[in-house]
Structure 1
Amino acid sequence: MVSSGFETSSNLLTWSMVMLAFHPECQARAREEVLQVLGDKKEITSDDLGKLKLVTMIVNEILRLYPPIMELTRLVDRDTNIKGYTIPKDSLVTFPILMFHRSTEIWGDDAGEFRPDRFAEGALKAANGEAAFMPFGCGPRICIGMNFSIVESKIFLSMLLREFAIEFSPTYTHAPVVAVTIQPQSDAPVVLRKL
């Protein structure tokens, strides 16, 4: 079982730092936004977080590329017909989140690329009208820790960007591996340079 609030959040923050190190221009834009919205405020409010549009897009793009769960599996409680297909009662149905999050049919030819601006007009528009963005699941059984994880990540990234530039360590090799979550195969060393 994945420990919510630990492994999933630490993976989200790890991949955020890795992608921002890979994309210094995006990092610079996010830093500019953070400094403009937050300045040197010590206490960050939910109103402040709501104004961090690019930071939100970065978090969403990380969640799309490196979701905290790879798939959802549900037990069908009654015979169900979907688009002409009958799914018998007691069948297990698996919804491959990672596959949907990287589908070129849904996200476009650049589905495998880090492009936070795709979320500029929200997740539904980013997914070309498909309900295909579900890093925390969906419906009545959506992860109860979703909002906390997103708020925690936005605060952490904002505070980090305000104080440090994120760069790659010369020893970093990009090699994601799927376990319960998507993790770096052999750590993700980054260098934090004080601004």
Structure 2
Amino acid sequence: MVPAFHQSCSGVVGEWDKLVSDKGSSYEVDVWPGLVSMTADVISRTAFGRSYKEGQRIFELQAELAQLIIQAFRKAFIPGFSLTLDLLVAEFNPERFKDGLSKATKSQVSLFPFAWGPRICIGQNFALLEAKMPMALILQRFSLELSPSYVHTPQTVVTIHPQFGAHLILHKL
């Protein structure tokens, strides 16, 4: 799967590289759309042997379905559902995870992206590699700075998404 991951990541990072090169040595980019299309492309290539563009309509329909499911969940009360506003509006501070998730949550299982114990997500290794590959390619070409236009507003759409994008300033190395 690594070649498929690399091919998908290289495309997106190459687009950002061209944007930055065209504008000088640094440029503000909303990286969220690129990361979304890269993720869809990785899934398409590894699961179906096709690129994202070939199956784009399916992903668009899945996104619409996800929106409808979220709307339905918001109208229903489900006892024990603990996705609270506290998790969604927490200040963005990646440093809190430097000693691991257990330390960050004080061993309370309040946020566990891949579950805990015997019910661990079977896609965990796939997702972690999918995250590491673009980071490696990005950090080889750019240094990153949070844009002043970035607004931290997480939004739940099955998973948590940035409501107004993820604006970064990319500085070419």
TM-score between both structures, scaled by the size of structure 2:
0.41
Q: Which structure carries more helix by proportion?
A: 2
With a CA cutoff of 8 Å and minimum separation of 6, indicate the structure with the bigger relative contact order.
Answer: 2
